[in-house]
Structure 1
């Protein structure tokens, strides 16, 4: 890394007498939370400065330029500004935007050597309207859209990495490959950065790691053009595998919240980073697997103490929200129930390989969550996870037992409830082939020698089709953007039949 880059990484964290350059846009912009009345754009400046966003409706015949209020960045907040846009937004519309730092326009650029050159196109979308459509318009305005997802993004930094051997991070152009797929949303499924030991010992060290990694040139196009949402795992929370015992978990939460623009972060009565968002007919639950985590190798259950990953309060919040969301929309002539409920967890949920960090290792809490989802009859549950540095699809067929309250016996007796889990890992960190023995693995690949992805990769989820035949198409890509679950003999973009998940097949059995 050049000395200039080293200077601007830490400039906002240094005393003012050491700052000489004019303020610039150091990191971002990055669209985050989007509702029908507000969109948040995340930015970071090189030193304290005013930030303002100008924006205008894309492809409009009359381009009216709108402006956000001025935001002032400060060193105690790592010079971050999360700019709220509220004026003149129209649901479902796309907008182009510009960033002004101290009144001057600033924009990220494509990296040198990439096929596209010049300023990166910057665009956001106001959340589309989908419920309670007025009379005279098409009923149930379902629309197609794409979500990209991945986990485990390690960015090398000389002097702070593992000593000797091949650098742990690599193939950064994977972020450009994701950008080229043109996702509407990007879900970061944990280990979004990797704290080193000099990072997680202080809040300023944590801020420095995020500031460094966000400057990656290959990342800029994706950051500026999709809406980003995130959960954490151990490496973007604190030391390896740590949970609720981390003494700086308050600083970890403050730092995570500072560098993302999720819709919310925990509840007043239940701290954490968990949150919820909706996009069309997809509900997305972003869960916190660290704040309440018992050590994976501990055994509190031997002393009649619960072994927790999510914690009782977070699990009950999730169940209550799932039940509420479904009940609000059933039998409603002006809306429709969410066809898919994506539940994002940093660790794997359904894998049966015996991984001590997987959710199944927290048996009582895991069983309670699964039993409650079955007993409440929640439709369209799909888990998304990362962590393990390989990718796979897992499947659980739960046989209803008709005995709610007895572990493993919830639901309608004799009826099957089917769960799927989509794991996507890793983006740029080291990868491996994964566990050979996993009875839960569901093979979506036509190649008889392949049932999982053992290389750097990412995933896209396409939600398509009319309301009566809604489907989710799952695609895994390598770092160059080549389709990995391609149908044998099919087109380059044609996926296997097993990669298509229909909402009708994910409905819970009903009495």
Structure 2
């Protein structure tokens, strides 16, 4: 009887302590976990805590009860108490559930926690490429005491619920993923504070928990509005971009690893994320070779496009590329470099290219017909929440019926048989209502489709 009383006393104490311990660790979490890049054998997750903590995840293949654990990782004070958890040894094309641990205590979430390894595919013998869905958007702004316009009214945060209901495999953030202001961009502490504010948005957490995320950069992630390569603190802002996002690589176009340029593959699509700020020369300057992307980055892009065996080669640039109008902050302001890039794509006979962009606070599709070659398309998706424009810029290449003045996002479904793969592009408003869609087939992006 005495032993039973002791056992009951211990059990009672544990029943009191354990919930408090679980609650304490949950409160230690600032944001995340966010599922980052995926490869066939590896994925990465990002997490942020309030102080230096030890974090890890347990994970198990869907339908299995066998759990595995990641290594322990330490959240880093110099990276706003964030860290990245890398999971290795996966098999291609599998989905896994997972659970976060902080200081060896599980942190319960009331939404799905899931990641996936990318499916195996090779462009040989007309093998079936996997069907998948991505979502993309740009220009996410929130009211914040330190923001550029703290009294402005921005779009509804519920747009992220609408995105979640589309069940994408991954999301591509196409720049202006937050809005640094003069209060932040000159100091690391200010930059980290604003990133933390945006990243801890409650409505984002379930989207972070089960959808993979990749990010490109534009001026408001980088520094002042319409900033160029002369911005003095660009190393600090781009470093923050690297540790707050979980792309598989950065700086791949530079011999010194500079800039945010990167690439990743999903199924039969390869994505090329260009840095349109770090290498940009000032407008109206007397630089010998004025440009937005710079020779080194363009050389890398052309080589990488030519080497890629993907059916679709999607080039993301924060700034609009194909619109020829002389409007502010378009690639048209660097006509020689822009013309040289498009000519090199043609000269190298590179098929399957489509451009993606954001920045302009409205959505449209641009089509550039090219004599003796297939047409180039550009999908511009903007904005997620940032203030909508009253009038669009002039764009003589705009595809009829694709202009949307308002908050929106896009999905692209990669579908079809091996001999005729397609991209189904769909534009939704912030409520998740379909506005328009368009199919671009791989054959539309072929040299056989010469005009």
Q: Tell me what 2:392 maps to.
A: 435
Q: Deviations over 1:289-334 (max 9, x none)?
A: 0111112x32436xxx111111100000000111112xxxxxxxxx
Structure 2 residue 286 is matched with structure 1 residue 312: no
Equivalent position of 2:442 in the other structure:
503
Task: Provide the residue aligned with 1:251 in structure 2.
Answer: 236
Aligned to 1:269: 255
Taking only aligned residues, the RMSD between alpha carbons, in angstroms, comes to: 1.8
Judge which range, 181-190 or 216-225, deviates more.
216-225
1: CA distance, partners of 2:123 / 2:369: 35
What secondary structure sits across from 1:31 in the alignment?
strand
In 1: Cα distance, 2:449 partner to 2:132 partner: 29
Q: Secondary structure at the match of 2:149?
A: coil
* Superposition deviation, residue 436 in structure 1: 5.7
Any conservation in 1 of the 2:176–2:217 contact (CA below 8 Å)? yes
CA contact (8 A) 1:29 1:99 kept: yes
Give the corresponding residue for 2:409.
Answer: 458
Q: Is the 8 A contact 2:143 2:149 kept in 1?
A: no
Q: Could you say if the C-alpha distance between residues 339 and 139 of structure 1 is closer, same or farther in structure 2, counting changes exceeding 3 Å?
A: closer
Alpha-carbon shift at residue 161 of structure 1 (Å): 5.0
Match of 1:358 among 327, 330, 337: 330
Kindly state the Cα deviation for residue 253 of structure 1 after the two structures are TM-superposed.
1.4
Q: Deviations over 1:70-97 (max 9, x none)?
A: 001121121111000014x120101111
Structure 1 residues 71 and 436 mapped into 2: Cα distance closer, same or farther (>3 Å)? closer
Aligned partners of 1:433 and 1:455 also within 8 Å: no
Matched residue count? 424
Pick aligned residue for 1:129 from 120, 144, 149: 120
1:1-80 mapped onto 2 (5 Å cutoff): 24-58=28-62, 60=63, 62-80=64-82
The answer to whether the 8 Å contact 1:390/1:434 transfers is: no
Q: Report Cα offsets for 1:159-197 as digits up to 9, x if no partner.
A: 645255xx2423000011111101111000000000121
Find the aligned partners of 1:261 and 1:181 in 2 and give their Cα distance.
22
Equivalent residue in structure 1 for 2:348, among 357, 376, 385: 376
- The normalised TM-score by structure 2 is 0.90
The question of 1:476 aligning with 2:433 is answered no
Q: Shift in Å at residue 288 of structure 1?
A: 0.4
* TM-score of the aligned structures, taking structure 1 as reference length: 0.80
Shift of 1:433: 4.5
For the structure 1 residues 46 and 350, does the alpha-carbon distance in structure 2 shift closer, same or farther, using more than 3 Å as the test? same
Secondary structure at the aligned position of 2:376 is classed as strand
Q: Deviations over 1:438-469 (max 9, x none)?
A: 111012x3xxxxx4010000000011110111
Using the TM superposition, give the Cα deviation of residue 142 of structure 1 relative to its aligned residue in structure 2, in angstroms: 1.0
The one-character-per-residue Cα deviations of 1:382-412 (angstroms, maximum 9, x if unpaired) are 000000000100011112xxxxxxxxxxxxx
> Do structure 1's residue 220 and structure 2's residue 205 form an aligned pair?
yes
**Contact 1:56/1:66 (CA < 8 Å) preserved in 2?**
yes
C-alpha contact (below 8 Å) 2:126/2:419 kept by paired residues: no
Do 1:151 and 1:191's aligned partners in 2 also have CA atoms closer than 8 Å?
Answer: yes
Question: Contact 1:24 / 1:106 at 8 angstroms: preserved in 2?
Answer: no
* Structure 2: gaps of 5 or more residues: 1-23
Q: 1:107 to 1:346 in 2, by over 3 A?
A: farther
After superposition, what is the alpha-carbon deviation per residue over 1:214-241, rounded to whole angstroms, capped at 9, x for unaligned? 1111111111111111111111111111
Per the alignment, residue 188 of structure 2 pairs with: 203
CA contact (8 A) 1:129 1:141 kept: no
Q: Distance in 1 between matches of 2:324 and 2:362?
A: 15
CA 1:433–1:465 in 2, change beyond 3 Å: closer, same or farther?
Answer: farther
Query: What pairs up with 1:408-419 in 2 under 5 angstroms?
Result: 415-419=372-376
Q: Contact between 1:281 and 1:339, CA under 8 Å: does it hold in 2? A: yes
Contact 2:34 2:45 survives alignment (8 Å)? yes
- Spell out the pairing of 1:105-254 with structure 2 (5 A cutoff): 105-108=106-109, 119-131=110-122, 140-158=127-145, 160=147, 162=149, 164=151, 167-254=152-239
The alignment status of 1:342 with 2:299, answered yes or no, reads no
Residue 416 to residue 32, structure 1, CA distance change in 2 (3 Å): same
Moved over 6 A (4+): none
Residues 462-500 of structure 1 deviation map (CA, whole Å, 9 limit, x = unaligned):
111101111101111111000011xxxxxxxxx4xxx11
The 1:381/1:39 distance shift into structure 2, 3 A limit, reads: same
* Distance in 2 of aligned mates of 1:272 and 1:57: 36
Show CA shifts across 1:21-53 (max 9, x none): 766221111111211121100111111100001
> Of 83, 86, 92, which aligns to 1:84?
86
Q: Which residue in 1 is equivalent to 2:266?
A: 279
C-alpha separation in 2, matches of 1:161 and 1:309: 25
State the alpha-carbon separation in 1 of the partners of residues 251 and 146 from structure 2: 35
Summarize the Cα distance change of 1:309–1:132 in structure 2 as closer, same or farther, 3 Å threshold: closer
Single out whichever of 143-152 and 356-365 deviates more from structure 2: 356-365
